[in-house]
Amino acid sequence: MEIKADKKVLTSKEAPKAVGPYSLGIQTGNFVFLSGQLGIDPQTGDFIQGGVEKQTEQVLTNLKNILMSNDMSMGDIVKTTVFLQDMKDFPSMNAVYSIFFEDDPPARSTIQVAALPKGGLIEIEAIAVPG
């Protein structure tokens, strides 16, 4: 017997459009999977200037906006994966990240990658459980 979970595609006018053939997020059952966000301003389509700190702030704002557009919040996030172009940026990223997750932060992995789409300095993906 095959069981197929319902799948809802998440959208938001307050987040950048996908830069490829993927959805901003998918909700299936009790889980929400948010695609990696870059430090792109949704209004201009350009990266935010100001280094990894400003890009981290924009990445997390984009994730927050996707969640809020779908009646969720940052408090629903249970796991993030942070992709850094340079691990030397870890302390700067961490300082901004801690502002968005002051209480009960989610589990997290952080890895350095050779490159990110469009030359970004940081990308963050997330898993959330609404409620």
pLDDT in tens, 17-37: 887 899 999 999 999 999 999
Residues in CB range of 104: below 8 A, 6 or more apart: 75
Q: In what order do the strands lie in the sheet with 31-38?
A: 7-10, 25-28, 31-38, 122-128, 77-84, 107-112
Q: What is the CATH number of domain 7-128?
A: 3.30.1330.40
User: What pLDDT is recorded for position 11?
Assistant: 94
pLDDT in tens, 68-112: 999 999 999 999 999 999 999 999 999 999 999 999 999 999 999
User: What pLDDT is recorded for position 37?
Assistant: 97
Task: Decide if pLDDT at 4 tops 70.
Answer: no
Per domain, the residue ranges of the chain are 7-128
pLDDT in tens, 42-64: 999 999 999 999 999 999 999 99
- In whole angstroms, give the CA distance from residue 30 to residue 110: 25
Question: Which pTM was predicted?
Answer: 0.94
